[in-house]
Each structure stands twice: as structure tokens, then as C-alpha cells.
Amino acid sequence: MELSAILSSALAVFFNLLDMLIFIRVLLSWFPISRNNPLVALIYQLTEPILGPVRALIQRSVLGGRGMMVDFSPIIALLLLEFIKNILLYLTTLI
């Protein structure tokens, strides 16, 4: 198997896993599940490094603020991850 194909597959799996974890975190936020649950804690630990900075940027922007009732950081994070994934997949084709 060619190196670029291996890299492309690995990147696709990595970004798909991140997408799934963010989606699961969104779903978990709708249910009264304690964050002390080991599985929930793991999902939060894996997704917070992505969602935390996005949430901070939203709060500092014109759109943000404390009055927002909906957290849009997962949507923006998913869009950013998709953009980064596409750039990286394009770069792997150049190898």
C-alpha cells in the first residue's frame, strides 16, 4: 500500500473518530448523566481540547456572550475539523 493512501486512511479515521466523539458529547449533554461516569469523563477529556478554545473564541466574538442559551462550539468545531481534514488530505495527495 502506498504511503499517501495509508496517511489518507489514518487521517480519515482520526477525524471521523473526533467527529463521533463530539457528536456523542452533544447527545450526552441532553441527558442527566454524571460527568463522574468513566466513559463520560473520557469523552469530555478527549473533546475539551477542541471545544474549549472554540467556546472561548465564540465568547470573545460579537456573536458570543454570557446570554447565549445554545452552545454553538460543537458545530463550529466540526466545521473547522472538516476544513483541516480536507487540507491535510489534499496535502497527502502531494506526497
**Burial profile 4-17: b = 16 or more Cβ within 10 angstroms, e = fewer:** eeebbeebeeebee
Mean pLDDT score across all residues of the chain:
91
Q: What is the mean pLDDT of residues 56-65?
A: 79
Residues 8-30: tens digit of each pLDDT: 999 999 999 999 999 999 999 99
User: Where does the pLDDT of residue 70 fall: very low under 50, low under 70, confident under 90, or very high at 90 and above?
Assistant: confident
- Residue extents of the structural domains in the chain: 3-93
Q: Is the pLDDT of residue 3 over 70?
A: yes
Q: Which residue has the higher pLDDT, 75 or 69?
A: 75
On whether the CB atoms of residues 17 and 91 are closer than 8 A, the answer is no
